[in-house]
Amino acid sequence: MSLTLQNVSRVVEGETWIDDVNLTLEPGSFNVLLGRTLSGKTTLMRLMAGLDRPTTGKIIMNGVDVTGVAVRERNISMVYQQFINYPNLSVYENIASPLRLAKMDEAEVDRRVRETAEMLRIDPFLDRLPLQLSGGQQQRTAMARALVKDSQIILFDEPLVNLDYKLREELRQELRALFKARNCIAIYATTEPNEALALGGNTAVLNEGRLLQMGPTAEVYHQPKDIITAEMFSEPPINVVPGRVNEEEVTFDDTVHFRLNNDLRRLTPGEYQFGVRASHIGLVPHSDDDLELPVRVDLAEISGSETFLHVHNPHFDLVLHLSGVHAYQVDEEIKVYFPTHKLYAFDDQGKMVHSPARMREQ
Amino acid sequence: MTQSSTTPMTHEKTSQGRASQNTKVTKEQAPVYSRADRKARNANLRGRFGLALYVVLLLLPIYWLVNMSFKTNTEILSGLSFFPADFTLENYAKIFSDSTWYMGYVNSIFYVSMNMVISLLVALPAAYAFSRYKFIGDKHMFFWLLSNRMAPPAVFLLPFFQLYSSVGLFDTHIAVALAHCIFTVPLAVWILEGFMSGVPREIDETAYIDGYSFPKFFVRIFIPLIRSGIGVTAFFCFMFSWVELLLARTLTSVEAKPIAAIMTRTVSASGMDWGLLAAAGVLTIIPGMLVIYFVRNHVAKGFALGRV
């Protein structure tokens, strides 16, 4: 029951929304589509669902070309970002509606509806109308409707965005558990790298309608193919610093340079972009080859119990991701420690040419 | 209300540096809020009085009509009286016993209902298309629909009369119903489109994903979602068709003659039958009142063509 997209493009009014996407999703897999808003996540999902037709390319399910097949002929489910239920039907009827249309017998419908509702913990509300429920319960109803039938593909288009933080975490965990036992293709779109990491499975990174990289989530995270993937797949985005490599040194600018360590020695001399994750830069040295950098504070952004510290030196800006709440004055001069052995290097085309040794082993 | 409104005032004063003269402040306070209080009460009274006056002026003609319908012609013509001195139901009795009279109501209700049904059946799919699909010239066509309403009905009188006479539709209910469609269908499309656009497109898609076919989805899911819009649309169609006189009178002679045309019969060589005319008028208002009662909560949205 695999789903294959072959050279799929979609052009709307002269604008390319999806640009030549090739990918194959295996049954029983959980796939995350990661990309910013307008990167084409929803469009791609609509193409997979059959709600829109690709301008060129083929969509193949189990070896059968389904490009022109209408949605209702395909066996899929979809959960939207907005809470979409039939407002005039009770929660029970909402969940039952796909089964009723499949002409299932009444006892089986009842058993399935109750089972699914229980799984999503909306069983006490079966007699209510969707609009009498809270946002989280409404979305659970929509999910129940998607899960109640045995779809081959289940699409989630940022289903948790409109929910509050706590509820989001809770539902995310449940969702992952719900799919463990199923042999369907689950596709989950999100803008948040952290959500992709929390969900695991596979991740496909989308940018401006192009599929940048697809693979197991951890692999994509640790081994991004290029600079855009690396930037998209970390929160805050990975720091990118231009630098030059010669025979024995890496030079970021006239004042900052360090000797090539074993790790970076493979790089041929030339211009590179160096990437370092915000969480890897520290306020104290972690190992002896850390590079000490004097910087000025621009902004300390406190988010929950974490601090995003924006700093700059005369040549580049950096963002540090610190755990705990730290207060800094603007323009305060501090020293940060740059981990030279945790650097990614990208060539002038943006392709990754080097990743940290520890990451490669994983 | 006065309590809460004075608290900030005290604060303001203390902040202006008069905190030391605490006693003075409290002394000053008493007239301050009683004046504000009086002002508010006056405004309230004025508002109520204005509203009452407005309602009285509005209802005066209707009261006069009802009053007249229970009087005899001699009393109506004899002078000013606010209540019928000689209360009579004779005028109503005449209408309900004479078939030429009551058939007028039947005819009117008949073609108005037909018009409502036809308008809705035509406008529902049209409005759905305008609200959900993009096609060449959709915006222009949508506006053109409304621009139909800008022509006075008299413009269409001659073509309709000629056409209906030649195809044998003259003096039938359907003739009037169809003629009224030229005004009610555009209005219905506009109102329904507004209500339909308020329903998220994702509901349609979810239905298709669940396996609904289009007709099944439209009838089982979509129509219940916009039922208040349908009610309001029906009301507006009713209002137009029920009130319209020119087309209805010209396109009928005997079989489908509307009540408004029959009412002109009260003018005869022997003078006017005032009481009968008033009773007929009262009975004409009643269906409108009944219809508006059912859509009273949604009708404001209908006036905004569903776009609120």
Q: What is the chain A residue with the closest CA to B226? A: A88
**Segment B142-161 mean pLDDT:** 86
Q: What is the chain B residue with the closest CA to A146? A: B210
Q: What is the chain B residue with the closest CA to A72? A: B211
* Interface with chain A: mutation pick from B206, B208, B218, B226, highest number of A CBs within 10 Å: B206
> Between chains, do A98 and B210 touch, taking CB under 8 Å as contact?
yes
Q: For residue B234, what pLDDT band results from cuts at 50, 70 and 90?
A: very high
| Closest Cβ opposite residue A72 in set B200, B208, B225 | B208
A39: pLDDT strictly greater than 70: yes
Q: Find chain B residues with C-beta within 8 A of A49's C-beta.
A: 209
B interface toward A at CB cutoff 8 Å?
Answer: 200, 202-203, 205-213, 216, 221, 224-225
**Angle, CA of B296, B67 and B80, to the nearest 5°:** 135
| Closest Cβ opposite residue A78 in set B209, B212, B216 | B209
Could you tell me whether strands A15-25 and A3-12 are parallel, antiparallel, or unpaired per DSSP bridges? antiparallel
Cβ-count burial A316-325 (b if 16+ within 10 Å, e if not): bebbbbbeee
**pTM (2 decimals)?**
0.78
**Segment A34-58 mean pLDDT:** 90
A127: pLDDT strictly greater than 70: yes
Q: What is the chain B residue with the closest CA to A76? A: B209
> Between chains, do A98 and B206 touch, taking CB under 8 Å as contact?
no
Cβ-count burial A112-128 (b if 16+ within 10 Å, e if not): bbeebbebbebbebbee
* Interface with chain B: mutation pick from A12, A13, A45, A72, highest number of B CBs within 10 Å: A72
Q: For residue B179, what pLDDT band results from cuts at 50, 70 and 90?
A: very high
Whether the Cβ atoms of residue B252 and residue B297 lie closer than 8 Å to each other: no
Q: Thinking of the domain A3-232, which architecture would CATH place it in? A: 3-Layer(aba) Sandwich (3.40)
* Interface with chain A: mutation pick from B132, B209, B214, B220, highest number of A CBs within 10 Å: B209
Q: What letter represents residue B185's amino acid?
A: V
Helix/strand/coil (H/E/C) assignment for every residue in chain A: CCEEEEEEEEEECCEEEEEEEEEEECCCCEEEEECCCCCCHHHHHHHHHCCCCCCEEEEEECCEECCCCCHHHCCEEEECCCCCCCCCCCHHHHHHHHHHHCCCCHHHHHHHHHHHHHHCCCHHHCCCCHHHCCHHHHHHHHHHHHHHCCCCEEEEECCCCCCCHHHHHHHHHHHHHHHHCCCCEEEEEECCHHHHHHHCCEEEEEECCEEEEEEEHHHHHHCCCEHHHHHHCCCCCCEEEEEEECCCEEECCCCCEEECCCCCCCCCCEEEEEEECCCCCECCCCCCCCEEEEEEEEEEEEECCEEEEEEECCCCEEEEEEECCCCCCCCCEEEEEECHHHCEEECCCCEEEECCHHHHHC
Structure tokens at A316: 């580049």
**Segment A51-55 mean pLDDT:** 91
Q: Find chain B residues with C-beta within 8 A of A89's C-beta.
A: 221
Distance from CA of B117 to the nearest CA of A (A): 23
**Angle, CA of A176, A181 and A185, to the nearest 5°:** 70
B177: pLDDT strictly greater than 90: yes
DSSP-based three-state secondary structure for B172: coil
pLDDT at residue number B206: 92
Q: Find chain A residues with C-beta within 8 A of B216's C-beta.
A: 101
pLDDT at residue number A262: 67
Task: Give CA–CA dist A11/A17, Å, rounded.
Answer: 6
Distance from CA of A203 to the nearest CA of B (A): 25
Say yes or no: A78 contacts chain B, CB-CB below 8 A. Answer: yes
Distance from CA of A3 to the nearest CA of B (A): 17
> Between chains, do B209 and A76 touch, taking CB under 8 Å as contact?
yes
> Between chains, do A88 and B225 touch, taking CB under 8 Å as contact?
yes
**Angle, CA of B216, A154 and A173, to the nearest 5°:** 130
CA B6 to chain centre: 44
Element (H, E) at B267: strand B267-268
| Closest Cβ opposite residue A71 in set B202, B203, B209 | B209
Q: Find chain A residues with C-beta within 8 A of B136's C-beta.
A: none
| Closest Cβ opposite residue A72 in set B200, B213, B224 | B213
Q: Find chain A residues with C-beta within 8 A of B200's C-beta.
A: 82, 84
Q: What letter represents residue A251's amino acid?
A: T
Q: What is the pLDDT of residues B31-72, one digit of tens each?
A: 556 788 888 888 888 889 999 999 999 999 999 999 999 998
List Cβ neighbours of B73 (8 Å cut-off, separation of 6 or more): B273, B274, B275
Distance from CA of A101 to the nearest CA of B (A): 6
| Closest Cβ opposite residue B203 in set A49, A71, A86 | A86
pLDDT at residue number B32: 57
Distance from CA of A356 to the nearest CA of B (A): 45
Beta bridge partners of A33: A189, A204
B191: pLDDT strictly greater than 80: yes
**Segment A244-259 mean pLDDT:** 78
B4: pLDDT strictly greater than 50: no
**Segment B162-187 mean pLDDT:** 92
**Angle, CA of A234, A266 and A282, to the nearest 5°:** 40
Q: What is the chain B residue with the closest CA to A149? A: B210
Task: Give CA–CA dist B129/A250, Å, rounded.
Answer: 64
Q: What is the pLDDT of residues A297-308, one digit of tens each?
A: 998 888 888 888
pLDDT at residue number B308: 54
> Between chains, do B210 and A101 touch, taking CB under 8 Å as contact?
yes
> Between chains, do A80 and B209 touch, taking CB under 8 Å as contact?
no
> Between chains, do A72 and B205 touch, taking CB under 8 Å as contact?
no
B305: pLDDT strictly greater than 80: no
> Between chains, do A70 and B213 touch, taking CB under 8 Å as contact?
no
For the beta carbon of residue B22, count every other beta carbon within 10 angstroms.
12
The whole-chain average pLDDT of chain A stands at: 86
Task: Give CA–CA dist B189/B168, Å, rounded.
Answer: 29
Domain positions in chain A are 3-232, 239-277+289-361
Q: For residue B196, what pLDDT band results from cuts at 50, 70 and 90?
A: very high
- A:B CB pairs within 8 Å: 49
List Cβ neighbours of A308 (8 Å cut-off, separation of 6 or more): A236, A278, A300, A301, A302, A319, A320, A321, A322
Q: What is the pLDDT of residues B240-284, one digit of tens each?
A: 999 888 899 889 888 888 888 888 877 777 778 888 999 999 999
Percentage of the residues of chain B whose pLDDT score is greater than 70: 88
Q: What is the ipTM for the molecules in this complex?
A: 0.80
| Closest Cβ opposite residue A102 in set B200, B211, B225 | B211
CA B298 to chain centre: 11
- Comparing A19-28, A324-333, B124-133, which segment has the lowest mean pLDDT? A324-333
pLDDT at residue number B56: 93
Say yes or no: A12 contacts chain B, CB-CB below 8 A. Answer: no
Fold of B97-303: MetI-like fold (1.10.3720)
Q: What is the pLDDT of residues B92-135, one digit of tens each?
A: 999 999 888 899 999 999 999 999 999 999 999 999 999 999 89
Q: Find chain B residues with C-beta within 8 A of A82's C-beta.
A: 200, 202
